[in-house]
């Protein structure tokens, strides 16, 4: 048995007891299969829900959470009230829990699991005294040490902490010493926070849960104003913002936006959030909203004189962010040349917020203007029926999409070798060559045709249409 509820414990069952024994003891026992993955993902969900209490939440083992509350309990009116709110909400969400607040993660862990009460808060610096009576298991020791210490008659943390350090390390390994130091606060501990602890965190809680979309919008706006004011004070801007809506029933909805350049203009950021707020389901009401900023970069104070160039760049960056937020960031780009002979690969996409060197003008690295390139390139070349007088010449007549066209003028060929070496499956062969022609029909329409492979006697060359010049 992996877990037992309160009623089960009252009936004399415990975790780890065999199911057959348990059923013998309590015939009316109801069981469900243990699903460790589902448990783990539920714990992560709970961790995300706890973001309202602290931006830094780390899952611990299969059944624990670490929250970094450093300086964050002020809005509740102190750590005691914070702890009360946390446990009340968890139990209301169907997850009754024990919790402890201490200077170190190790001490809090020990007190939450082995302390005398469900909820413990110890004074700063008091962890040594508080831990003394706890069993050694409270130290999160490696299994060998945890089993070995009681055999030496050392059953409490207090006993272990008085031992000579060198001998302890020699007998039970350096990690034992480290765990002890982490619990007492003489060694640091890095926790795997879901979101790294950040000072760029703002939170709003409401007595009356919100549900109207305009209220959500206003809440996000207020948070943005508060956070951006602090960012401005430190000359910083951020490129990622996340707001989390916490529902009264414990569900939480994160909404994220990103900007191409560091930003701290609350109005502009609110515009990026706005279209996404529509998808937040407020349910019976949202009672807390949090906001965190990430990917901070220095952002200079806006110059007081009207700097046209900077202004325009800002406006463009705002446009790109806005379109990216609505359509998806991959749907807004600038085209840049890429070293490749194959037309399909001659273009690479760059984030549109990075300006061209020439600012809007066709300068900077470009494509060879001497090589004609079509206005529209078909996603894949379409085969055409073509008739050429001499196999090595452009066709005289070709049929594309059911229409026969007589070639009046032509230019070419431009020989392009396929980059077969990039494609592991391809076999290097003479056929990996395309001869491109730009041709014009009687109407003046222009097409980009190619013959696949070199001409060889006895073979009908295959022709493809790859693009349209306008």
Partner 1 sequence: MRSGAEHRLRALRERLAAIEGGKRTGRVLPFGDGRVDACLPGGGLPRGRWHEITGEGLEQETAAAPAAWSARLGSRLLSDGGGEAVWIGQSEDLHAPGLAALGLRPIFVLVRNDTEALAAAEDALRARGVAAVWAEVAGLDLTAGRRLQLACEAHGATGFVLRRRLWAHKGGAETGAGSASRWRIAAAPSNPGHLPGLGPARWRVWLERAAGGRPGAWIMEMGDEADRIRVVSELAADGLAAAEPSIRRAG
Q: Does 346 help bind partner 1 (rule: CB under 8 A)?
A: yes
403 is an interface residue for partner 1 by CB under 8 A: yes
State yes or no: residue 456 binds partner 1 (CB under 8 A).
no
Decide if residue 341 touches partner 1 (CB under 8 A).
Answer: no
Q: Which is nearer to partner 1, 2 or 327 (CB)?
A: 327
Distances (CA, A) of 195 to 43, 170, 171: 15, 36, 37
| Of the candidates 85, 293, 266, 298, the residue with the CA atom closest to the CA atom of residue 202 | 293
Please report whether residue 311 would count as binding partner 1 according to CB under 8 A.
yes
Please identify which residue in 81, 335, 342, 389 interacts with partner 1, judged by CB under 8 A: 335
Piece in contact with partner 1 (CB under 8 A), picked from 191-199, 216-224, 229-237, 403-411: 403-411
H or E stretch at 236: strand 236-247
Verify binding: residue 376, partner 1, rule CB under 8 A.
Answer: yes
Q: Of 170, 171, 295, 331, which one interacts with partner 1 (CB under 8 A)?
A: 331
Sole binder of partner 1 in the list 128, 187, 191, 347 (CB under 8 A): 347
- Token reading at 402: 């059911």
Closer to partner 1 at the Cβ: 184 or 318?
318
232 CB neighbour count, 10 Å cutoff: 16
The answer to whether residues 243 and 220 touch, using CB atoms and an 8 Å cutoff, is: yes
Q: Judged by CB under 8 A, which of 362, 424, 457, 460 binds partner 1?
A: 362
* Sole window of 150-158, 170-178, 381-389, 404-412 interacting with partner 1 (rule: CB under 8 A): 404-412
- Cα–Cα distance, 181 to 140 (Å, whole number): 12
What's the min distance (Å) between Cβ of 63 and partner 1? Answer: 44
Nearest approach in angstroms of CB 318 to partner 1 is 7
Residue 262: partners with Cβ closer than 8 Å, 6 or more residues away: 236, 237, 238, 239, 295, 296, 297, 298, 299
Quick one: tokens of 459? 């073979």
> Closest approach of Cβ 264 to partner 1, in Å?
19
Q: How far apart are CA 238 and CA 200, in angstroms?
A: 10
Rounded to 5 degrees, what are φ and ψ at 199? -75, -10
Beta bridge partners of 119: 99
Q: Does 332 bind partner 1 (CB under 8 A)?
A: yes
Closest distance of CB 374 from partner 1, Å: 5
Q: Is residue 85 at the binding interface for partner 1, with CB under 8 A as the rule?
A: no
- Shortest CB 274 distance to partner 1, Å: 13
At its nearest, how many Å lie between partner 1 and the CB of residue 238? 22
In the block, which residue shows the tokens 């298991």?
A: 137
**21, 212, 244, 251 from 273: Cα distances, Å:** 56, 16, 12, 20
Q: Out of 164, 192, 300, 379, which residue is the one contacting partner 1 (CB under 8 A)? A: 379
Here the tokens at position 347 are 């273009």
CB of 220 to partner 1, least distance (A): 20
Using CB under 8 A as the binding rule, whether residue 407 contacts partner 1 is answered as no
Min separation Cβ 409 and partner 1, Å: 5
267 binds partner 1 (CB under 8 A): no
318 binds partner 1 (CB under 8 A): yes
326 interacts with partner 1 by CB under 8 A: yes
Cis status, amide bond into 309, omega within 30 of 0: no
**Block residue for tokens 């998808």:** 279
16 makes contact with partner 1 (CB under 8 A): no
- Residue 224 per-residue DSSP state: H
- Kindly write out the interface string for residues 411-450 of this chain, putting x where it contacts partner 1 by CB under 8 A and - elsewhere: x--------------------------x-x-xxxxx----
Quote the CA–CA distance of 349 and 333 in Å, as a whole number. Answer: 6
Asked if 384 touches partner 1 (CB under 8 A), the answer is no
Minimum CB–partner distance for residue 141 and partner 1 (Å): 56
Q: Which of 98, 93, 123, 124 is nearest to 109 (CA)?
A: 98
SS (H, E, C) 155-220: CEHHHHHCCCHHHHHHHHCHHHHHHHHHHHCCCCCCCCCCCCCCCCEEEEEEEEEECCHHHHHHHH
Judged by beta carbon, residue 239 or residue 446, the one nearer partner 1 is: 446
Mask 163-202, x = binds partner 1 (CB under 8 A)? Answer: ----------------------------------------
Question: CA triplet 399, 405, 406: central angle to 5 degrees?
Answer: 125
For residue 16, the 8-state DSSP code is: T
Q: How far apart are CA 391 and CA 120, in angstroms?
A: 89
- Positions that interact with partner 1 (CB under 8 A): 311-313, 315-316, 318-320, 322-323, 326-327, 331-335, 337, 343, 346-347, 349, 352, 356, 359-362, 364, 366-367, 369, 372-379, 401, 403, 408-411, 438, 440, 442-446, 467-470
């Amino acid at each position: 048995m992996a877990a037992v509820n309160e009623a089960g414990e009252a009936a004399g069952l415990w975790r780890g007891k065999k199911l057959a024994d348990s059923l013998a003891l309590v015939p009316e026992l109801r069981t469900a299969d243990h699903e460790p993955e589902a448990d783990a993902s539920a714990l992560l969900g709970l961790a995300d829900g706890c973001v309202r209490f602290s931006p830094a939440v780390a899952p611990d083992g299969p059944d624990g959470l670490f929250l970094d509350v450093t300086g964050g309990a002020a809005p509740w009116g102190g750590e005691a009230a914070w702890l009360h709110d946390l446990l009340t909400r968890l139990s209301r969400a169907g997850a009754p829990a024990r919790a402890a607040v201490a200077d170190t993660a190790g001490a809090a862990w020990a007190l939450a699991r082995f302390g005398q009460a469900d909820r413990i808060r110890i004074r700063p610096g008091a962890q040594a005294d508080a831990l003394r009576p706890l069993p050694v298991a409270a130290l999160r020791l490696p299994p060998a040490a945890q089993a070995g210490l009681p055999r030496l008659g050392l059953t409490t943390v207090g006993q272990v902490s008085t031992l000579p350090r060198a001998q302890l390390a020699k007998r039970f390994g350096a990690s034992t010493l480290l765990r002890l130091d982490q619990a007492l606060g003489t060694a640091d501990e890095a926790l795997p926070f879901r979101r790294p602890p950040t000072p760029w965190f703002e939170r709003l809680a409401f007595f009356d849960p919100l549900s109207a979309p305009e209220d959500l919008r206003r809440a996000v706006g207020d948070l943005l104003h508060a956070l951006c004011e602090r960012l401005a004070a430190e000359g910083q801007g951020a490129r990622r913002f996340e707001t989390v809506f916490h529902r009264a029933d414990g569900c939480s909805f994160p909404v994220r936006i990103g900007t191409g350049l560091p930003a701290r203009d609350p109005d502009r950021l609110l515009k990026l959030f706005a279209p996404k707020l529509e998808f937040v389901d407020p349910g019976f009401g949202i009672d807390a909203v949090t906001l965190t900023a990430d990917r901070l970069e220095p952002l200079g104070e806006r110059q007081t004189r009207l700097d046209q160039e900077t202004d325009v760049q800002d406006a463009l960056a705002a446009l790109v962010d806005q379109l990216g937020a609505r359509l998806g960031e991959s749907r807004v780009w600038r085209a840049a040349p890429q070293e490749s002979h194959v037309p399909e690969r001659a273009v690479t996409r760059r984030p549109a917020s990075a300006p061209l060197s020439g600012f809007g003008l066709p300068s900077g690295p470009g494509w060879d203007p001497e090589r004609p390139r079509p206005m529209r390139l078909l996603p894949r070349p379409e085969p055409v029926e073509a008739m050429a007088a001499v196999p090595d010449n452009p066709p005289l007549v070709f049929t594309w999409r059911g229409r026969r066209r007589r070639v009046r003028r032509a230019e070419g060929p431009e020989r392009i070798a396929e980059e077969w070496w990039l494609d592991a499956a391809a076999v290097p062969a003479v056929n990996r060559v395309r001869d491109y022609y730009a041709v014009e029909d009687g109407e003046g329409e222009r097409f980009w045709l190619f013959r696949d492979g070199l001409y060889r006697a006895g073979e009908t060359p295959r022709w493809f249409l790859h693009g349209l010049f306008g």
